[in-house]
Structure 1
Amino acid sequence: MSNNKTNRWLILFTGIFANLCIGAAYSYSVFRKPLMVLLGATASQVTIPYTLSLALMPISMIIAGKIQDKKGPKLTMFIGGLIYSAGFLLAGYAKNIQFLYISYGILGGLGLGAVYSCTVVNTVKWFPDKRGLAGGLISGGLGGGSVIFAPLGVSLMKTYSPLSTFQIFGGLFIIVISIASFFAVAPPAGYKPEGWTPPVAKAGNTLNVSIDKNWRQMLSDPLFFTAWITLIIAAVSGIMIIGFASSIGQEVVGLTPAAAAIGVSILGVANTLGRPIWGSISDKLGRYNSMIVMFIISAASMFLLSTMASSFSVFVIALIGIGSCYGGFFGLYPAVTGDMFGMKNMGMNWGVMFTAFAPAAIFGPMLAAQVRAINNGDYSLAFMIAGGLSIIGIFLTLFSQSIVRKNKINAMAAEMNSK
């Protein structure tokens, strides 16, 4: 497929389908109770495969990002899809919960990160004129996976076991991701869409100054650690609720499994739509202003969930707020990383930045599980802690914004002095 004839929207479209498949990881909450019964596992034990898959995702993103920056995304995405699908297929043979740690958790997480790195980074490179929107749309596929696979999983488990359902999913994923990988073509260096001219930096306007850093230079920049901690905080609430939405609906609100699955799907829709919506908003409102608004909504939603989640309507309102902001953060952060450290090495840089997902994936679900166990099924303290962290995220975002502005002013001054 020649770059001169490549349709970038086709790359975006097929990448969304691949991300829908790996987004099935977000439907895990509908499997928790059936797996507890089938394998005789505790709630904390059943949480570990989900936590492992998300925690290992950044590791494979770094590896895949480095390979992608040098060799291109096509083969990397294909291999990642094979590993991810194998995780689901092998999970169908689990006789105990420990086998799920290896199959669904380790293999699934490594494949998940490889595919996600290829789809998001490659697509954003194809859309320098619509970076926020493109990042939101492509990552929206990841959030959309639960919209499809949560109710589908519940439906299939009425006829098949949870393990057979894993195998059905794995067979579907290997087909879809393999086809999508064929279209994963990297843009030429310095690619610009036809008819688009990059904005020219003017005196007093630091937003368009380019700063390109490799991962080593990025790690030596204090801005990285501020942004990294901010991303952990941004992810905690969403990961916690995504992993426990079905259980919260049944245990706290008193919903049936089918009604709780509807809540999971609504959460998935919010997660999906939040990515392109907030991405598009950020292209106009600004990355950091958008993040501040998302932290405010996320905090309010967690506090609402901790104090008033006694009806389906309140439960859904909280899920929409949490899901849309969680999706918005991950739709926005690839663009934020590019804005902070440049697009040249974004494959590797975004993988390193995404390591923030690992501690969030461990802390969020395990916090909810432990609080539930200690407080006899009451999750409220976990929700309050997550809401408080979101408030801290507001201040970290403001601090990051000031550092970015200072860095770009310095870069612009150096550029002007060199002329």
Structure 2
Amino acid sequence: MNSAVLPDVLPISRKILTLIGTIIIQLALGSAYTWSLFNSSIAHHLHVDVYKVAITFGLFCLSLSLASSQAAYLQRKFGVRYTTMIAAMLMFAGLFLASQSTNLLGIYVGAGIIMGAAEGAVYLMIITNCVKMFPQIKGVIASLSIGAYGLGGVIFKYVNHHLLTSYGLEYAFFLWGIIVFVLMIVPAFVMVNAPEQIQNAANSLRKVVIYKSYWGFWAIFLMTSMTGIYIIGAAKDIGEQIAHLDANMAANAVAVLTFFNLCGRLVIGSASDKIGTLLSLRICQILLCIGVATICYLALNTLFFFIAVACIAFAFGGTIAVYPPLIGDFFGIAGVTKNYGFIYLGFGFGSVLGNVISFVCNGFERTIPVLLVSMVLAVIIVMFTKNRAYFTE
């Protein structure tokens, strides 16, 4: 079942409506990145430690990545319109379950697993769907879509903070679910699938996995996610413990991260159309390496700490934005949803692996050098990747 029966040439008006709908939906999906606002309130409400509540976001990321790996199947089976509608219902159901939960299991299942699966079902699908609609400016399209996701986190930081302080935890979850449902279900009605493209047999996932560069891109995405998510999630604590900033100054790292992460998504994604996707990825990996090395080896003061945080956030956002057009360049635009969907598993595994390394190393001082080694390896891999596309369509 498809979301619409499309002619050979899709009218530009339908493409633009689909792009606008994608941006609105991405704003709603980005609201999940305000989860940290709820950790302490949930911990107090359920009388548990905060770190146990924080596990919810790791489950969310893992569930998101697993669902994203099935985006191509879902698009083929249901189309972007109906998949988005189903995901909107699941997002509301997950938040409603969380609002009614009296234990951590309900939080884990509702806000972690169900919300993550709902978000993963559409996040990657609607991005790659728009990339296929505008193949000549795929970098710009990817940056707009993924930038909207980052902007959603900024907007909902204020929205969810207001809901939480004004209505309390239970109603905040419920109202958040209502808002997200509306922002997803209304644009879904104007969403259509990109025109079917001639499928080259070589575009299938079964064919592209024979290339070393594909596994190189998988490894880079894993290491980037592992490093970026861990440091972004712990930036305030790193500022206090390693840079020896006071709590108020260290808290400003959150604003720096948000701003530069959004800038990276917009700037790198758009620039990749002009300078190439592989060069854009190389720039991001080098910046990430510089940012992590700054935290490791410089005598951190306020200035150096915020420079390091800005480099990491900008490069992480840029990497996320450049990957859909990069995979399209190397392995064909027609198969980008499935081929990128498998690589996106690295996001979920990386989000968990960073915390595992931290647990084993027992502290930021030992964890960050391990992350630096992984980023040096990522730089080496991307520098030895040949700048060419394997398939043409």
State TM-score, norm by structure 2. Answer: 0.87
Whether 1:338 aligns to 2:325 is: no
Whether 1:317 aligns to 2:321 is: no
How far off its partner does 1:310 sit?
A: 5.0
Q: Using the alignment, how far apart are the partners of 1:370 and 1:39 within structure 2? A: 28
| 2:208 counterpart letter in structure 1 | M
Q: Using the alignment, how far apart are the partners of 2:88 and 2:220 within structure 1? A: 29
How far off its partner does 1:360 sit?
A: 0.5
Match of 1:347? 337
From 49, 52, 61, give the equivalent of 1:54: 61
Whether 1:276 aligns to 2:258 is: no
8 Å contact 1:299–1:386 — kept in the other structure?
no
| 1:226 counterpart letter in structure 2 | G
> Identity of aligned pairs, percent?
25
The alignment's C-alpha RMSD in Å is 2.7
Match of 2:380? 395
How far off its partner does 1:126 sit?
A: 1.3
User: In the TM superposition, what are the counterparts of 1:229-308 in structure 2 within 5 Å?
Assistant: 229-248=219-238, 253-256=245-248, 263-306=253-296, 307=298
8 Å contact 1:78–1:178 — kept in the other structure?
yes
From 134, 146, 158, give the equivalent of 1:139: 146
Q: Using the alignment, how far apart are the partners of 1:155 and 1:250 within structure 2? A: 27
How far off its partner does 1:111 sit?
A: 0.7
What is the count of residue pairs matched by the alignment? 382
Whether 1:107 aligns to 2:114 is: yes
How far off its partner does 1:326 sit?
A: 1.0
8 Å contact 2:14–2:192 — kept in the other structure?
no
| Stretches of structure 2 lacking an aligned partner (at least 5 in a row) | none
Q: Using the alignment, how far apart are the partners of 1:344 and 1:314 within structure 2? A: 43
How far off its partner does 1:107 sit?
A: 0.4
The 3 A distance-change label for structure 1 pair 293 and 165 is: same
Q: Using the alignment, how far apart are the partners of 1:7 and 1:121 within structure 2? A: 16
8 Å contact 2:62–2:116 — kept in the other structure?
yes
Whether 1:167 aligns to 2:184 is: no
Q: Using the alignment, how far apart are the partners of 1:92 and 1:172 within structure 2? A: 15
8 Å contact 1:249–1:315 — kept in the other structure?
yes
| Stretches of structure 1 lacking an aligned partner (at least 5 in a row) | 192-209
8 Å contact 1:89–1:166 — kept in the other structure?
yes
Q: Using the alignment, how far apart are the partners of 2:50 and 2:359 within structure 1? A: 7
Q: Using the alignment, how far apart are the partners of 1:46 and 1:318 within structure 2? A: 28
Match of 2:369? 384
The 3 A distance-change label for structure 1 pair 325 and 163 is: farther
From 89, 103, 108, give the equivalent of 2:96: 89
8 Å contact 1:87–1:107 — kept in the other structure?
yes
| 1:351 counterpart letter in structure 2 | G
8 Å contact 1:28–1:50 — kept in the other structure?
yes
How far off its partner does 1:331 sit?
A: 0.6
Match of 2:319? 329
Q: Using the alignment, how far apart are the partners of 1:392 and 1:367 within structure 2? A: 17
8 Å contact 1:58–1:355 — kept in the other structure?
yes
8 Å contact 1:120–1:138 — kept in the other structure?
yes
User: In the TM superposition, what are the counterparts of 1:180-195 in structure 2 within 5 Å?
Assistant: 180-190=187-197
How far off its partner does 1:362 sit?
A: 0.5
| 1:391 counterpart letter in structure 2 | V
Q: Using the alignment, how far apart are the partners of 1:147 and 1:309 within structure 2? A: 27
8 Å contact 2:132–2:334 — kept in the other structure?
no
| 1:281 counterpart letter in structure 2 | A
The 3 A distance-change label for structure 1 pair 168 and 260 is: farther
Match of 1:4? 11
Q: Using the alignment, how far apart are the partners of 2:170 and 2:231 within structure 1? A: 23
How far off its partner does 1:250 sit?
A: 6.5
What secondary structure sits across from 2:280 in the alignment? helix
How far off its partner does 1:120 sit?
A: 0.6
| 2:174 counterpart letter in structure 1 | Q
What secondary structure sits across from 2:166 in the alignment? coil
8 Å contact 2:68–2:121 — kept in the other structure?
yes
Q: Using the alignment, how far apart are the partners of 1:34 and 1:263 within structure 2? A: 22
